[in-house]
């Protein structure tokens, strides 16, 4: 097991270098001169421009710029945005909001996704199963911004159950509706994945053995079936948690939530290179850590992987 | 050859008085499928006593496993249905019991060993967990106590270094060792009856005999009844007391083991015996029963074997032969013998 973890950690190094390099080069290749853009219509004099370029390190050779960026990451320095604020402190304000939103979405998709999936898998072909397949198909097919606006209008404006937009991004009760919107598509995927996995495993020989052993049904389902069926579901959930941490641009936009997605959206709009690079780097790290945890979980859950 | 020595025959058999450990009585099982109703079991009756081994023989698809699964109560219903018949354990009809009462019989009183131990064991739970589960669920033991019993069991089925291996997973064992674990699991609560459905078919030839010997030894030690489902006529001769031969969901012949080998009373049994490779026939082409087993959606009228039977007559195509008592030369019934053939006499003496 220890060896497996070590191997997995070593594998992360080239992935990390590769992804950060790609992000760095892409932002570098963006059209337009970001320093000039800071002055809007006014044309600054050449000396000011040169001074600013020097301040942001833009006059250094490309490899040197990349090196500065990379070594900064390890010192917790993600650079300075063009608005003169450290990227780390902008993210520092946004991350707790995103974590709250992601957790709300995650708990909803996990609890209801697995629940619906198991019920439907155990009653394959029955009414509950058909309803689930139909509803999840619709949820997957409708874009998130449509669901988001509909929920906002219905529950916020018409019914008045919640405030239509979030005015305190740190208040978790205000994040429940956006969390549902954010988690809904994943909820549909989780239910379908759970269902498929349950259907596959319910006919397995070891399930027949469990019945032949005279075990009570809740044990047969709760231990023997679940331990096997949930392996792919947990993998999906882990990867999705990584995605939820950064993929909330649409939802955060609709409900005016000041999270990481919002920061990224604004940074792209304002061509704030250092802020884009810093934010995306953060997302990459989150993603890498999430997939590491998923793989380790996988190895814990499936002994056949552990010893392979 | 005629049967004269009937005294030796009676020994391995059930005494007719009183109830047997397990009696299957006129059992019918059918499956509802898209193509129609598959009649997999069509009136099977057999019985086993404590300490007795019944071997069930027959080609693939003859209903051996389905009958066993009905006894265990592990058929999926639906698609399976049991339209009629009784399965009595110590005189009690299992089919009319409550689910909860039935569950307590499963595993504790009647246990089953399956063919493929690798797929029959849960891949993500340790063998120790799967063994101790029996004690925890049925006996309410603590985890620790149950684990200790699991190690004892593994010792008992002669798994080397049981203490070190109790926390290993099924895929870490060899095929033979895995089947020993299945046997240990079946044995855990010292059941009265074990049903072994082709317990050695999935194993290497070299370990088949070891596993079979182990099973036979343990059966003797615990004085259990054993229903052994197999294709292997060689194994049967060594361990079984009596045999039931199945064809198209029916029992076509029953007999004490050596009687059947010496002198089959059904053309199908005769065909099966002729298809065993024998040392003295080296070089000769192996006999095979011609044709294919019947389609269970549409079983032939009359005797189901008639399209393949070398002795078939007109009557065989219309009349279903009942299980006739087989008698010796002087007309006395031979204990435990029956044949579902209109021409059992001719077959016996042919
Ligand atoms: N779930 C099911 N649905 C439909 N038909 C089934 C089902 N289970 C078994 N059958 C049918 O019942 C018949 C008897 O099957 P069974 O498994 O008892 O045969 P068997 O004698 O054990 O054969 P084998 O030697 O191959 O194990 C087969 O023809 C099979 O197609
Ligand atoms: S009844 Fe007829 S067809 Fe059937 S086994 Fe006997 S001889 Fe053959
Ligand atoms: Mg079978």
Higher pLDDT pick, B211 / A58: B211
Which residues, in sequence order, are bridge partners of residue B29? Answer: B41
pLDDT at B10 over 50: no
CATH number at residue B71: 3.40.50.300
Q: For residue A184, tell me if it sits in a domain.
A: yes
pLDDT at B36 over 60: yes
Q: Which residue of A lies nearest to B113 if distances are taken between CA atoms?
A: A209
Question: How far does the centroid of ligand 2 lie from the alpha carbon of residue B253, in Å?
Answer: 12
Q: Can you tell me the distance from the alpha carbon of A136 to that of A128, in angstroms, rounded to the nearest whole number?
A: 12
Burial class (CB in 10 A: 0-12, 13-18, 19+), B27: buried
Regarding whether A233 and A180 lie in a shared domain, the answer is yes
Parent domain of B205: 22-240
pLDDT at B286: 56
Regarding whether B178 and B105 lie in a shared domain, the answer is yes
Regarding whether A103 and A39 lie in a shared domain, the answer is no
User: And the tokens for A258?
Assistant: 């000041």
pLDDT at A89: 86
Confidence of residue B18 (pLDDT cuts 50, 70, 90): low
Q: At what angle do helices A176-202 and A144-151 cross, to 10 degrees?
A: 130
Question: How far does the centroid of ligand 1 lie from the alpha carbon of residue B64, in Å?
Answer: 8
Contact between A214 and B103 using a beta-carbon 8 Å cutoff: yes
The bridge status of strand B225-229 relative to strand B53-57 is parallel
Proportion of chain A in helix, strand, coil states, percent, rounded to 5? 80, 0, 20
Q: For residue B9, tell me if it sits in a domain.
A: no
Q: Which of B117, B275, B272, B121 is nearest to B200 (CA)?
A: B117
Regarding whether B62 and B208 lie in a shared domain, the answer is yes
Confidence of residue B285 (pLDDT cuts 50, 70, 90): low
Regarding whether B289 and B186 lie in a shared domain, the answer is no
Burial class (CB in 10 A: 0-12, 13-18, 19+), A77: middle
Regarding whether A163 and A48 lie in a shared domain, the answer is no
- The answer to whether the CB of A80 falls within 8 A of the CB of A278 is no
Regarding whether B56 and B138 lie in a shared domain, the answer is yes
Regarding whether A252 and A113 lie in a shared domain, the answer is yes
Proportion of chain B in helix, strand, coil states, percent, rounded to 5? 35, 25, 40
The ligand 2 site (C-beta within 6 Å) comprises: B 266-267, 303, 305-306, 309, 311-312, 316, 321, 341-343
Chain A residues with CB under 8 Å of B125 CB are 223-224, 227
Instruction: Work out the angle at residue B69's Cα, subtended by the Cα atoms of residues B127 and B136, and round it to the nearest 5 degrees.
Output: 35
Q: For residue B5, tell me if it sits in a domain.
A: no
Regarding whether A178 and A69 lie in a shared domain, the answer is no
Atom number of ligand 1 nearest to Cα B61: 19
Question: Which ligand is closest to the CA of B40, given by its number?
Answer: 1
Q: Tell me which residue has tokens 């963006």.
A: A30
Q: Can you tell me the distance from the alpha carbon of B1 to that of B261, in angstroms, rounded to the nearest whole number?
A: 12
- The answer to whether the CB of A183 falls within 8 A of the CB of A109 is yes
pLDDT at B7: 37
pLDDT at B13: 38
Atom number of ligand 1 nearest to Cα B66: 18
Instruction: Tell me the per-residue pLDDT of B45-88, one tens digit each, with 9 for 90 and over.
Output: 999 999 899 999 988 889 999 999 999 999 988 889 999 889 99
Regarding whether B206 and B149 lie in a shared domain, the answer is yes
CATH number at residue A146: 1.10.3720.10
Chain A residues with CB under 8 Å of B179 CB are none
Instruction: Tell whether omega for the bond before B78 is within 30 degrees of 0, i.e. cis.
Output: yes
Any A CB within 8 A of B134 CB: yes
Regarding whether A170 and A99 lie in a shared domain, the answer is yes
User: And the tokens for B331?
Assistant: 């007309």
Checking phi first, is residue B20 left (phi over 0); if not, alpha (psi -120 to 50) or beta?
beta
Local structure of A264: helix, strand or coil: helix
Regarding whether B226 and B278 lie in a shared domain, the answer is no
The bridge status of strand B193-197 relative to strand B225-229 is parallel
Q: For residue B236, tell me if it sits in a domain.
A: yes
Parent domain of A105: 94-301
Contact between B120 and A206 using a beta-carbon 8 Å cutoff: yes
Regarding whether A260 and A181 lie in a shared domain, the answer is yes
Question: Which ligand is closest to the CA of B268, given by its number?
Answer: 2
Best of B75, B111, B113, B120 to mutate (most A CBs within 10 Å, chain A): B120
Any A CB within 8 A of B136 CB: no
Sheet with strand B92-93: strands edge to edge? B36-48, B22-33, B80-89, B92-93
Domain count, chain A: 2
Q: For residue A171, tell me if it sits in a domain.
A: yes
Instruction: Tell me the per-residue pLDDT of B132-164, one tens digit each, with 9 for 90 and over.
Output: 999 999 998 899 999 999 999 898 888 888 888
Q: What are phi and psi of A125, to 5 degrees?
A: 85, -10
Regarding whether B126 and B273 lie in a shared domain, the answer is no
Q: Which residue of A lies nearest to B194 if distances are taken between CA atoms?
A: A212
Chain A residues with CB under 8 Å of B112 CB are 212
pLDDT at B6: 37
Q: For residue A8, tell me if it sits in a domain.
A: no
Regarding whether B226 and B287 lie in a shared domain, the answer is no
pLDDT at A38: 64
pLDDT at B12 over 70: no
Regarding whether A223 and A192 lie in a shared domain, the answer is yes
Confidence of residue B15 (pLDDT cuts 50, 70, 90): very low
Regarding whether A113 and A73 lie in a shared domain, the answer is no
Q: For residue A281, tell me if it sits in a domain.
A: yes
Regarding whether B224 and B183 lie in a shared domain, the answer is yes
Q: For residue A115, tell me if it sits in a domain.
A: yes
Q: Which residues surround ligand 3, an ion (CB under 5 A)?
A: B 65
Residues 6 or more apart in contact with residue A12 via CB below 8 angstroms: A288, A292
Q: For residue B16, tell me if it sits in a domain.
A: no
Q: Is the CB of B38 under 6 A from ligand 1?
A: yes
Q: For residue A307, tell me if it sits in a domain.
A: no
Q: Which of A108, A259, A287 is nearest to A181 (CA)?
A: A108
Last residue of a domain, one of B215, B240, B265: B240
Contact between A216 and B103 using a beta-carbon 8 Å cutoff: yes
Sheet with strand B193-197: strands edge to edge? B110-113, B193-197, B225-229, B53-57, B242-247, B250-256, B333-339, B324-327
Higher pLDDT pick, A140 / B165: B165
Regarding whether B215 and B84 lie in a shared domain, the answer is yes
Q: What is the DSSP letter of B123?
A: T
User: And the tokens for A29?
Assistant: 């290749």
Residue B182 to residues A197, A280, B102, B112, B257, Cα–Cα distance (Å): 25, 53, 21, 9, 27
Best of B102, B121, B124, B136 to mutate (most A CBs within 10 Å, chain A): B124
Regarding whether B180 and B161 lie in a shared domain, the answer is yes
Contact between B74 and A213 using a beta-carbon 8 Å cutoff: no
Q: For residue B47, tell me if it sits in a domain.
A: yes
Chain A residues with CB under 8 Å of B73 CB are 211
Q: What is the DSSP letter of A80?
A: B
Regarding whether B335 and B190 lie in a shared domain, the answer is no
Domain count, chain B: 2
Contact between A213 and B120 using a beta-carbon 8 Å cutoff: no
Where chain A has pLDDT below 70, the residues are 1, 28-43, 56, 169-170, 247, 306-308
Q: Which helix (H) or strand (E) holds B112?
A: strand B110-113
Regarding whether A164 and A58 lie in a shared domain, the answer is no
Q: Which helix (H) or strand (E) holds B232?
A: none
Q: For residue B166, tell me if it sits in a domain.
A: yes
Regarding whether A187 and A161 lie in a shared domain, the answer is yes
């Amino acid at each position: 097991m220890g060896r497996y973890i070590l191997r997995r950690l070593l594998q992360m190094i080239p992935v990390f270098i590769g992804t950060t390099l790609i992000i760095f080069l892409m932002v570098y290749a963006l059209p337009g001169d970001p320093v000039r853009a800071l002055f809007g219509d006014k044309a600054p004099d050449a000396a000011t421009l040169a001074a600013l370029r020097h301040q942001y390190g833009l006059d250094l050779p490309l490899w040197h710029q990349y090196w500065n960026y990379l070594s900064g990451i390890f010192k917790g320095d993600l650079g300075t945005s063009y608005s003169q604020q450290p990227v780390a402190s902008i993210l520092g304000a946004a991350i707790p909001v995103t974590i709250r939103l992601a957790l709300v979405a995650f708990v909803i998709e996990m609890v209801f996704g697995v629940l619906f999936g198991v019920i439907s898998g155990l009653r394959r072909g029955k009414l509950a199963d058909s309803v689930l397949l139909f509803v999840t198909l619709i949820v997957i097919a409708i874009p998130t911004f449509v669901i988001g606006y509909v929920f906002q209008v219905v529950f916020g404006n018409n019914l008045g159950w919640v405030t239509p937009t979030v005015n305190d991004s740190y208040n978790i009760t205000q994040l429940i509706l956006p969390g549902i919107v954010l988690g809904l598509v994943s909820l549909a995927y989780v239910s379908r994945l759970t269902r498929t996995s349950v259907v596959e495993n319910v006919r397995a020989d070891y399930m027949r053995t469990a019945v032949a052993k005279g075990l009570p049904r809740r044990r047969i389902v709760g231990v023997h079936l679940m331990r096997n069926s949930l392996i792919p579901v947990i993998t999906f959930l882990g990867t999705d948690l990584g995605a939820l941490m950064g993929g909330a641009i649409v939802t955060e936009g609709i409900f005016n939530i000041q999270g990481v997605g919002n920061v990224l959206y604004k940074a792209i709009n304002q061509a704030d290179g250092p802020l884009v690079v810093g934010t995306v780097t953060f997302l990459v790290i989150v993603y890498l850590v999430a997939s590491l945890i998923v793989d380790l979980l996988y190895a814990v859950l499936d002994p056949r992987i552990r010893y392979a | 050859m005629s049967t004269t020595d009937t005294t030796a025959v009676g020994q391995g058999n059930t005494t007719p008085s009183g109830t047997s450990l397990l009696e299957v009585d006129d059992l019918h099982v059918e499956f509802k499928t898209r193509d129609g109703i598959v009649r997999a079991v069509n009136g099977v009756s057999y019985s086993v006593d404590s300490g007795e081994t019944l071997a069930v023989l027959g080609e693939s698809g003859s209903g051996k496993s389905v009958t066993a699964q009905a006894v265990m109560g592990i058929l999926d219903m639906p698609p399976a249905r049991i339209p009629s018949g009784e399965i009595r354990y110590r005189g009690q009809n299992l089919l009319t019991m409550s689910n909860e009462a039935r569950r307590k019989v499963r595993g504790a009183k009647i246990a089953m060993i399956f063919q493929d131990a690798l797929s029959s064991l849960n891949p993500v739970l340790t063998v120790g967990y799967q063994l101790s589960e029996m004690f925890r669920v049925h006996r309410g033991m603590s985890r620790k106590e149950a684990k200790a019993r699991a190690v004892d069991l593994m010792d008992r089925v002669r798994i080397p270094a049981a203490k070190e291996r109790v926390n290993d997973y099924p895929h870490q064992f060899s095929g033979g060792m895995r089947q020993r674990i299945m046997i240990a699991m079946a044995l855990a609560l010292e059941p009265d009856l074990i049903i072994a459905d082709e317990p050695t078919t999935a194993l290497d030839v070299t370990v088949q005999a070891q596993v079979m010997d182990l099973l036979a030894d343990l059966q003797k030690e615990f004085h259990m009844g054993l229903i052994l489902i197999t294709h292997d006529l060689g194994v049967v001769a060594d361990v079984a007391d009596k045999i039931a031969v199945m064809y198209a969901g029916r029992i076509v012949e029953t007999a004490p083991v050596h009687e059947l080998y010496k002198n089959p009373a059904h053309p199908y049994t005769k065909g099966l015996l002729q298809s065993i490779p024998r040392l003295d026939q080296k070089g000769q082409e192996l006999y095979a029963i011609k044709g294919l087993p019947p389609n269970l959606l549409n079983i032939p009228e009359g005797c189901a074997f008639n399209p393949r039977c070398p002795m078939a007559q007109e009557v065989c195509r219309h009349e279903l032969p009942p299980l006739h008592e087989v008698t010796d030369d002087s007309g006395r019934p031979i204990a435990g013998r029956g044949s579902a053939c209109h021409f059992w006499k001719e077959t016996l003496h042919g």
